[in-house]
Amino acid sequence: MDKARASTLHDIVVDYVINNAYAGTASVLSRTPVPGSPSSSPTPQEAPSAPAPSLMEQLAERSKRAEAMDVDETPETLSPTVLERLARRREIIEYILSGSIAPAVDALNAHFPAVLTPVPATSSPRARGASHATPVFAKSTEPEHIALNLQIQSFIEHFRQIVPSAPSSPTSSIGSLNGSSSAPLDAALNVLAAINTAASKLPSYPRSVYLQEFRDVGGLLAYTNPENSELAGFLDQKRRVALAAQVNAAILHSEGRATQSYLEQIARRTSAIYETITEKDIDPQPVWAGTDLKGAGAAYRISEQLKRRPFQKGGFNLHEYVWEMA
């Protein structure tokens, strides 16, 4: 973690909302001046009623307020360009969550073309667990994987329109396989064919994974009540959420940003530490006794960690804990 950027809890929260594309919240927390507000449009014609405090006096007062209120008062702003890109990311996420895959792809091509531009593969990520509620290679940022997962989701959304029993979003138009128009079915089959073609061009391992996914998702057409079948995961809203998270991570990766926020990294580290402590059957808060490294062993080492500043008699301090974990 870059402690210069994340020196306070406030910074870490701002990083989290930026990472997850909460543009409005990020703007507020970063104290971006609103055009036309007093902070951004001073009125020089109004003379101050008292002499302005010196810089040292301002810093001292700010430090006192920050300490008393437990917040960081360092003024930080996000540029209009950054806020605009945040808004575009949020727009794409919302498209995917509502099942509007075509507009999401159009927005990616317009604003973040690198996300879907093929590049030489650099890694071999894990495929997926047994559930279809998560796309395959959900942690991958490879453009080919992103594009195929979007195509698969596009087929799923078309399927929702042609099968009355399939769960759908509020904006979906439900038709029937025996309806008056075959357009939705034709569109779904065209997407399915495109998935097969794209998957066949991949290297051996991802090709085998995606061809199996192709067969599985195509199997939805065999069910009249797919939500009660073994393929129900394809229709779960969790799949949209997972795909939106993957696309968001791919956008961040294309911009050279970390795909996980500082807060997520800290949470993962904390979880790993406590899992290890539990596996080793170590009391995380042993009795403060013994100073002999050989005699106390792991308990001594943990007690020494817990004696450090964040855990002194004054109580647990989240600011300092986050700093230590960083």
The pLDDT tens digits for 188-233 are 999 999 999 999 999 999 999 999 999 999 999 998 888 888 999 9
Residue 65 lies in a domain: no
Is 247 in the same domain as 272? no
Claim to verify: residue 207 and residue 271 sit in the same structural domain: no
Q: Is residue 86 part of a domain?
A: no
Residues 200 and 289 in one domain: no
pLDDT at 74: 43
Is pTM beyond 0.75? Reply is no
Per-residue pLDDT at 29: 78
295 and 188, same domain (yes or no): no
Domain boundary among 233, 254, 275: 254
Is 313 in the same domain as 212? no
Q: What tokens does 128 get? A: 């997926």
Q: Is the pLDDT of residue 58 over 60?
A: no
Residue 37 placed within a domain: no
**Crossing angle between the packed helical segments 143-162 and 204-218, to the nearest 10 degrees:** 10
Note whether 248 and 165 are same-domain residues: yes
- Tens-place pLDDT, residues 250-302: 999 999 998 988 888 888 888 888 788 888 877 666 554 445 555 445 555 55
pLDDT at 72: 43
Residue with the larger pLDDT of the pair 49 and 172: 49
Residues 163 and 221 in one domain: yes
| 64-94 pLDDT tens trace | 554 554 444 444 567 888 889 999 999 999 9
> CA–CA separation, 17 vs 248, rounded Å?
12
* Whether 133 and 223 share a structural domain: yes
Kindly report, residue by residue over 111-137, the tens digit of the pLDDT. 999 999 987 766 666 676 668 999 999
Average per-residue pLDDT in the chain?
75
CA angle 315, 318, 319 (to 5 degrees): 115
| Helices 237-254, 80-97: inter-axial angle, 10-degree rounding | 150
Which helix (H) or strand (E) segment holds residue 299: the answer is: helix 293-306
Which residue, among 209, 213, 211, 231, has the nearest Cα to 221 in the 3D structure?
A: 231
What pLDDT does 37 receive?
A: 39
The count of structural domains within the chain is 2
User: Both 234 and 290 in a single domain?
Assistant: no
The sign of the torsion formed by the CA atoms of 127, 98, 100, 24 equals negative
Establish if 147 belongs to a structural domain: yes
Q: Are 285 and 306 in contact (CB under 8 A)?
A: yes
- 159 in the same domain as 233: yes
Closest CA to 153 of 235, 57, 273: 235
Q: What mean pLDDT do residues 163-175 have?
A: 50
Looking at the fold, whether 234 and 129 belong to one and the same domain comes out as: yes
Identify whether residues 134 and 245 lie together within a single domain. Answer: yes
Residue 187 pLDDT exceeds 50: yes
Does some domain include residue 41?
A: no
Listed residues 254, 281, 302: the one ending a domain: 254
In a domain, 162, yes or no: yes
The more confident residue out of 169 and 215 is 215
Confidence of residue 323 (pLDDT cuts 50, 70, 90): low
State the residue range of the domain holding 227.
Answer: 109-254
